[in-house]
Structure 1
Amino acid sequence: MTAQEDTGSPRHAFDTVSSEDVHVGRVVALRVDEVAMPGGGTARREVVEHLGAVAVVALDDDGAVTLIHQYRHPLGRRLWELPAGLLDAGDETPVAAARRELAEEVGLAAAEWVTLVDVAVSPGFTDEVVRVFLARGLTVVDRDVQGEEEADLEAKAFPLADAVAMALAGEIVNGPAVAGLLAAQAVVEGRAEGRPADAPFHDRPTRFAARQS
């Protein structure tokens, strides 16, 4: 029996009894749901709705991965991360969004794309899920800088093993970057296989995008 198979035991349905919007912004919305609990009562759950995102482990022929150093205001400092961006272009597929972000942020295109992992960033309070791709067969293209934040990015190539070591040392703390780097190392070393670039994205957030359509 796999982890996804039903055990056959009856399970409680956590139905939403009511829902209230607290804030609807450009990138996220905050709602408060009243949820039916197993004991017969209800509990309030704060949910941050998100568009979802993609990130890219761009690996060159020498086995180096390109990371970006980007300011993140909630933490108040710059973090080493993977090239990444929001799924904010309507019907654009995740892999198409990843291609776009890779070109915009670090001026690279890739001939080979594989899905590595889907990362639920913090499922206790947000529906944000990030799909991380492995991109190989890299070529340099012109960057199309889209805003002030991207203009401030520093991009640097690290040997994949060094980037993994940075994650394990706490020098890389961005969740999709940590997961993507570890997954990429497993795939490159033949200990695991990625999924097709167009693999189903079952947990892609939809609620916030529906507000905008």
Structure 2
Amino acid sequence: MDIRQLAPEEISDRPSDRRTVASETVYEGFIWNVQRDEFELAQGTDPLRRDYITHPGAVSVLVLDDDDRVLLINQYRRPVGMTMWEIPAGLLDVDGEDPAAAARRELAEEADLRAEQWDVLVDFHNSPGSSSEANRIFLARGLSEVPDAELHERDGEEAEIHGTWVPLDAAVRAVLEGRLNSPAAVVGLLAVHAARADGYRSLRPADTPWPGHPDLR
């Protein structure tokens, strides 16, 4: 392995300009498709072929109240056959919708809540070796309830959603003890725990550009 000496501020994921030789959709699904790409790692080398899920991306919301508690919601997840404690989240499946607006919508739909203060908490890719999915987690504070007349009617798996408020430190312990496994919840809880150390001053504004999302570069 080539170990390079880099300054900490140089450590950053970046888009790559490697040449695509061929690309086709090999499966069309209900929510996402499977794409097959052939590409060159270096000019003149034999192309590599990879299949991966093309995904619209998602937003998640780490909800923190004035008592340093986080909101976790419980939902059934068919692929892993588990009911999981998660944070509110949803797909970026509305054409032209801003990620921060999508986060506000998901918070209202899944948790019946609104928030006055929004920050970008952390960005991540669920599985960059097999999916294009990018996920942005927002930190939501300054909470209020959605009026009864504006409540969203949940259906499908979302109809079974129920929630609980957990002290942040207890939620982090649940992650480290292996009791919470949802990727957005794990990443979000550890990130907000780290951000709390400097009073959340290191967080980015809610409208910060998102070059990690393939469609938002």
Q: TM-score range by the shorter chain?
A: 0.7 to 0.9
Give the corresponding residue for 2:3. none
Q: C-alpha separation between the residues in 1 aligned to 2:136 and 2:153?
A: 22
Give the corresponding residue for 2:132. 127
Q: C-alpha separation between the residues in 2 aligned to 1:4 and 1:59?
A: 28
Task: Show CA shifts across 1:56-112 (max 9, x none).
Answer: 111111111111111111101111111000111111111111111111111111010
Q: What are the within-5 Å matches in structure 2 for residues 49-198 of structure 1?
A: 49-141=54-146, 142=148, 143-190=151-198, 193-198=202-207
Unmatched 5+ stretches in structure 2: 1-6
Give the corresponding residue for 2:33. 29
Where in structure 1 do 4 or more consecutive aligned residues deviate above 4 Å?
Answer: none
Q: C-alpha separation between the residues in 1 aligned to 2:165 and 2:70?
A: 5
Give the corresponding residue for 2:49. 44
Supply the RMSD in Å over aligned alpha carbons.
Answer: 2.0
| Identity value in percent | 44
Tell me how far 1:191 sits from its aligned partner.
Answer: 6.7
Report the TM-score when normalising by structure 2. 0.86
Give the corresponding residue for 1:9. none
Unmatched 5+ stretches in structure 1: 7-11, 208-213
Q: C-alpha separation between the residues in 1 aligned to 2:18 and 2:213?
A: 20
Tell me how far 1:36 sits from its aligned partner.
Answer: 1.8
Q: C-alpha separation between the residues in 2 aligned to 1:13 and 1:89?
A: 28
Do the aligned residues in 2 keep the contact of 1:50 with 1:205 (CA within 8 Å)? no
